[in-house]
Amino acid sequence: MHFNKKEVIMNTITIQVEDRNVMSGLIKVLKSMNGVVILPIHNNKKSGIEEAMDDIRHGRVTEYKDADEMFEKLGI
């Protein structure tokens, strides 16, 4: 017995959306489309370097002239 196997190619995209208003609208549009499946969110833990690079991109860093200045600002 032979079966005709139709090859199905599914493309997956990941979209990063920071604005919740945009996200809710985008989800509504995607849900209305035939053949589009929204997969559950998997919060993958970032590595240390990924977290550091994300901090730099989002301006969550403080620069100090030297260690003494840092300790002084931290009250240590």
User: What pLDDT digit, counting tens, does each position of 18-39 carry?
Assistant: 888 898 899 999 999 998 888 8
**Phi/psi of residue 49, each to 5°?**
-70, -35
Give 72's contacts (C-beta < 8 A, 6+ positions apart). Answer: none
Give 9's contacts (C-beta < 8 A, 6+ positions apart). Answer: none
pLDDT value at 12 more than 80: yes
Tokens of 35: 């053949």
pTM: 0.40
Contact 38, 30 (CB under 8 A): yes
Tokens of 6: 């139709």
